[in-house]
Amino acid sequence: MTKRIGILTSGGDCAGLNAVISSVVMAASQKGWEVYGIHNGTDGITETPHSYEVLTVHNFSDSPWPRLSGSYLGSLNKGVKMESLETMSQKFAQGVKDLGLDAIVVVGGDGSMNIVSNYCKGLDVHVVGIPKTIDNDTPITEFSVGFQTAVQVCTKAVDDLYLTARSHNRAIIMEVMGRDAGHLAMHSALAGAADVCLVPEIPYTIDGIINKLKEVKASGRNNAIIVVSEGIKNEKGEHVSNKKNLVGEAVYGGISQYLTDEISARYNEFQIRSTTLGHIQRSGTPVAFDRLLAYVYGAKAVELLDKGVNRHMVIWKAGHVESVSFDDVVKEGTTKLDTNSDYVKAARALGMYIGECK
Ligand code: F6P
């Protein structure tokens, strides 16, 4: 039976999304299915006129898109829609009917999977999810598309900052994204051999950071790199930013400046500077592993739809691609950095200050 499937990207963008889209289009075309590329996340379905384009192999087979970051289709970030779940579900159901979709591939984090799976309850449409986020906090899967490229971007930034820190005898604090999970901070701090890495999962003290800086000085080195996750709190246990998005979620940012001020007030043997990497972490040429994940996830998503699987997300587990139900994904919640992981052990073995585990 000819199927018509929709594909959409949802949530913050990241490198590798276009390779995912390309993979789904190629695999679906081989089965003779039609693919509708939905613009701007679920907006392309819920808003009228609906916004989409028919995608074929010609869009991707001789195109730079699979090699580029960003989302060819556009993405919808949370915090911009205020309508109730009931209203959105009705609009979504009407859109799915108008477009004649048999199935939808959602490329997003656990939040997006949850939203679309709620919209689809009771509808005669199958949904399969593909995890993507630079935060790498999508549950159950070991890797989400986009994470490895973000680690690469952050590691390069550590290398670059080291050179200027060395020229000026400075300590530089680099703030990375990741929300409440420290994966991005820990992976890039380790790859860049930073001196300090602070993550939301492990408490720290300003004195602990200063002691590490003293140790660096005593060793004869005049520069230091401190990587901090945007989601860490100040010494009072509060986030330094009190900004919220339209749905009331905290918007992070500013911890590196707070730490710069606090450390400088108590210790002056290093000049401290802070750098916030920002959205550059969501871009950059997708690294090979993100493209590889994108291609295997896309192919697997089409295979699952072909087998009639519904409400499942593809995952990477010990070198294999499998799938788990949306219910399990939602039940599990976001995945934090395991404080007993080999990454954390290696950071300690390198002598990095990573806070004090209780
Ligand atoms: O979830 C991905 C992410 O990049 C987080 O690491 C970051 O906190 C957030 O999105 C930023 O979102 P926005 O694009 O709304 O600034």
Residues 6+ apart with CB under 8 A from 347: 186, 189, 190, 197, 354
Cα–Cα dist 14/132, whole Å: 7
- What pTM, to 2 d.p., does this model score? 0.96
- pLDDT-derived band of residue 318, with 50, 70 and 90 as boundaries? very high
| Average pLDDT, rounded, for the chain | 95
CA neighbours closer than 13 Å in the CB half-sphere of residue 335: 21
282, 290 in Cβ contact below 8 A?
A: no
Tokens of 190: 């380790």
Cα–Cα dist 110/271, whole Å: 41
Q: Are strands 320-325 and 312-317 parallel, antiparallel or unpaired?
A: antiparallel
Cα–Cα dist 109/9, whole Å: 10
- pLDDT-derived band of residue 300, with 50, 70 and 90 as boundaries? very high
Type and span of the H or E element at 316: strand 312-317
Q: At residue 2, does pLDDT exceed 70?
A: no
- CA 112–ligand 1 middle distance (angstroms): 14
- pLDDT-derived band of residue 73, with 50, 70 and 90 as boundaries? very high
| Per-residue confidence (pLDDT) for residue 248, from 0 to 100 | 81
Nearest to 186 by CA among 145, 228, 147: 228
**Which residues have a catalytic role annotated?**
135
Answer yes or no: is the C-beta of 185 below 6 A from any ligand 1 atom. no
**Atom 10 in ligand 1: residue holding the nearest Cα:** 12
Cα–Cα dist 78/80, whole Å: 6
Q: At residue 247, does pLDDT exceed 90?
A: no
| Per-residue confidence (pLDDT) for residue 108, from 0 to 100 | 96
- CA 14–ligand 1 middle distance (angstroms): 10
Burial class of residue 281, CB neighbours in 10 A (0-12, 13-18, 19+): buried
Q: At residue 250, does pLDDT exceed 80?
A: yes
**Residue among 134, 232, 280 whose CB has most ligand 1 atoms within 8 A, to mutate:** 134
| Per-residue confidence (pLDDT) for residue 337, from 0 to 100 | 98
- CA 154–ligand 1 middle distance (angstroms): 15
